[in-house]
Amino acid sequence: MSNTCVNCGEVLNGRADKKFCDNYCRNQFNNKKNSDVNNLMRNVNNTLRKNRRILISLLENGEEMKKIPKDILLKKGFDFKYLTEIYTTQKGKSYHYVYDMGYLNLSDDWLLIVQKIKD
């Protein structure tokens, strides 16, 4: 079984645990891996920022909470997969937070939008 370079796929000679042709291939591979991670982090951060912006836009000045149909969040592009924290109360209610803004599922169709109270 021959070993191939993780970066360019060339057949490798020499030690069995060798992973790259040379330093060039090693660097190129590591740079690409880092840029993939950076892109992933940028996308996640952008999605979190967008989610927070949507939640803020639903509360009017001075409101700390408001009942909103789930549909409205979906239409605005809220991505329910991206949260920063889930807080479950003693009564078993789970608040889903994006930084300081969050929501509580009231039913399948309704959410309660909340602003985190500083404690």
CA atoms of 45 and 55, how far apart (whole Å): 16
Q: Which uninterrupted H or E stretch holds 108?
A: none
Q: Specify the residue, 21 or 101, whose C-beta has the smaller distance to Zn ion.
A: 21
Residue of the chain from 7, 73, 113, 114 that contacts Zn ion (CB under 5 A): 7
Contacts of 76 (CB under 8 A, 6+ apart): 54, 57
CB of 20 to Zn ion, least distance (A): 6
Q: Does 8 bind Zn ion (CB under 5 A)?
A: yes
Site for Zn ion in 21-60 (CB under 5 A): 21, 25
Sign of CA dihedral 66, 71, 77, 79: positive
- Number of residues forming the site for Zn ion (CB under 5 A): 6
Contacting range for Zn ion; rule: CB under 5 A; set: 13-21, 34-42, 88-96, 99-107: 13-21
Of 90-119, which residues contact Zn ion (CB under 5 A)? none
**Sign (positive or negative) of CA dihedral 113, 115, 116, 119:** negative
Binding site for Zn ion (CB under 5 A): 5, 7-8, 10, 21, 25
